[in-house]
């Protein structure tokens, strides 16, 4: 299993380390515009692998060295202003970045699966799909996945677990829509042990608290890296092992809640071919409107830089 990580900043380096530590690749290629950074990280991670039970090659390279990648993880981004208040501020600059990176990546790996981490994650996941489909018939909507609200769902379940006194893994509750201010909890379908979780005002406040926590970390550190890296690891593992986990990730929406032509997070079954199924969560009327509002937000972002 060959995996390439594109963009070795704080997130890209952490993702690379976790994938190597868990032995999820036989070959890991690190690409960065400043190659010296990728080279140093590759050496450090390769040496760390000696302390694990796994054998794999970790190396830096240029775009040609990513040829034959089974999975390509996009963490590349233009600099994020410390005072950034909306991930959508990066749409124009990061779309231009994708226009230079995606064509050679697809030409070198025409059957790859893209996992997008770069923000705004939903709009850029859609842009990757639009660009990649011009260069490969194989890279379809099933093979372009954004981390989306997988991170937000984990934060929300953690808060629910503390309040309910139940392990987070036993709670089936998803944050859906955009990875941004419009995200919402599908509480009408949230359960634990088959029992519905009451959508009381306290739990609605948890949605806002989960949303704010990312900005709290970003404003202090200038980035978030641990939660998103473990989210990427979960997606990669489900692909590598064909585990068929159901994860809320950003994918192309085609008619769900009367939404089309954009990427948003819905529960998806993830396996060796990428997205095996998009699941249609039964939402109430208020949640449907929230999902449609998310779509409008993403489509407005996309209108700033059409492909």
**Cis, bond preceding 120 (omega within 30 deg of 0):** yes
* Cα distance between residue 302 and residue 238, in whole Å: 29
**Would you identify the CATH topology of the domain 150-303?**
L-2-Hydroxyisocaproate Dehydrogenase; Chain A, domain 2 (3.90.110)
Burial category of 51 from C-beta neighbours within 10 Å (exposed 0-12, middle 13-18, buried 19 and up): exposed
- Residue 86 is predicted with a pLDDT of 67
Confidence band for 206, pLDDT divided at 50, 70 and 90: confident
**Least-confidence region, from 10-24, 87-101, 246-260:** 87-101
pLDDT value of position 246: 97
Say whether pLDDT at 223 is over 80: no
Architecture of the domain defined by 2-146:
3-Layer(aba) Sandwich (3.40)
Of residues 211 and 103, the one with the higher pLDDT is 103
pTM of the full structure: 0.95
**34: burial class by Cβ within 10 Å (0-12, 13-18, 19+)?**
exposed
Q: Range(s) for CATH 3.40.50.720 in the chain?
A: 2-146
Q: How much is the average pLDDT of 281-300?
A: 97
pLDDT band at 215 (very low <50, low <70, confident <90, very high): confident
pLDDT(64) > 90: yes
Domain boundaries for CATH 3.90.110.10 within the chain:
150-303
| DSSP-derived 3-state class of residue 59 | strand
**CA dist 302 → 111, 134, 168, 292 (Å):** 25, 17, 35, 15
Q: Does residue 295 have a pLDDT over 80?
A: yes
Residue 88 pLDDT greater than 70, yes or no = no
Q: Which of 28-37, 88-97, 130-139, 181-190 has the lowest mean pLDDT?
A: 88-97
Indicate which residues carry an active-site annotation.
Answer: 179
Measured CA to CA in angstroms, residue 13 lies from 123, 153, 198, 281, 301 at distances of: 23, 23, 40, 35, 28
Q: Residues 17-49: pLDDT tens digits?
A: 999 999 999 999 999 999 999 999 999 999 999
- Any alpha helices (H) in 22-120, and if so which ranges? 35-49, 91-108
H or E element: which one contains 213?
A: helix 201-221
Specify the pLDDT at position 217: 74
For the chain, the average pLDDT equals 93
Q: Output phi, psi for 251, to 5 deg.
A: -140, 170
In this predicted model, which residue has the larger pLDDT, 81 or 202? Answer: 202
- Give the pair of three-digit tokens for residue 27: 């070959």
Radius of gyration of the chain (CA): 19
- Given this model, what pLDDT does residue 249 score? 98
Does the structure show a pLDDT above 80 at 114? yes
Q: Which of 1-5, 78-82, 91-95, 103-107 has the lowest mean pLDDT?
A: 78-82
153 vs 134: CA distance, rounded Å: 33
pLDDT on residue 82: 62
* pLDDT score recorded for residue 203: 85
* Model confidence at 83: pLDDT above 70: no
């Amino acid at each position: 299993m060959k995996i390439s990580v594109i963009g070795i900043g704080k997130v890209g380096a952490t993702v690379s380390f976790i994938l190597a530590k868990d032995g999820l690749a036989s070959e890991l290629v690190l690409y960065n515009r400043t190659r010296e950074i990728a080279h140093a990280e590759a050496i450090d991670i390769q040496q760390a692998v000696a302390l694990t039970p796994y054998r794999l090659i970790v190396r830096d390279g240029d775009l040609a060295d990513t040829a034959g990648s089974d999975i390509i993880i996009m963490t590349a981004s233009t600099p994020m202003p410390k005072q950034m208040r909306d991930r959508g501020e990066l749409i124009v600059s990061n779309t231009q970045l994708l226009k230079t990176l995606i064509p050679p990546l697809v030409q070198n790996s025409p059957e790859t699966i893209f996992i997008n981490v770069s923000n705004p994650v939903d709009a850029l996941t859609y842009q990757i799909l639009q660009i990649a489909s011009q260069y490969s018939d194989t890279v379809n909507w099933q093979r372009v996945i954004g981390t989306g609200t997988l991170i937000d769902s984990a934060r929300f379940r953690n808060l629910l677990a503390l309040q309910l006194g139940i392990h987070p893994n036993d709670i089936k509750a998803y944050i859906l829509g955009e990875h941004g201010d419009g995200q919402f909890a599908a509480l009408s379908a949230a359960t634990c042990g088959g029992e519905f979780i009451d959508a009381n005002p306290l739990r609605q406040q948890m949605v806002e608290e989960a949303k704010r926590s990312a900005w709290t970390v970003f404003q202090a550190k200038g980035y978030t890296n641990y939660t998103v890296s473990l989210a990427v690891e979960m997606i990669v593992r489900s692909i590598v092992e064909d585990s068929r986990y159901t994860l809320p990730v950003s994918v192309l929406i085609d008619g769900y809640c009367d939404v089309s032509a954009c990427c948003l997070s819905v529960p998806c079954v993830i396996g060796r071919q990428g997205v095996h199924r998009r699941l249609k969560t039964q939402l109430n009327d208020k949640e449907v409107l929230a999902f449609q509002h998310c779509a409008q937000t993403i489509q407005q972002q996309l209108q700033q830089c059409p492909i």
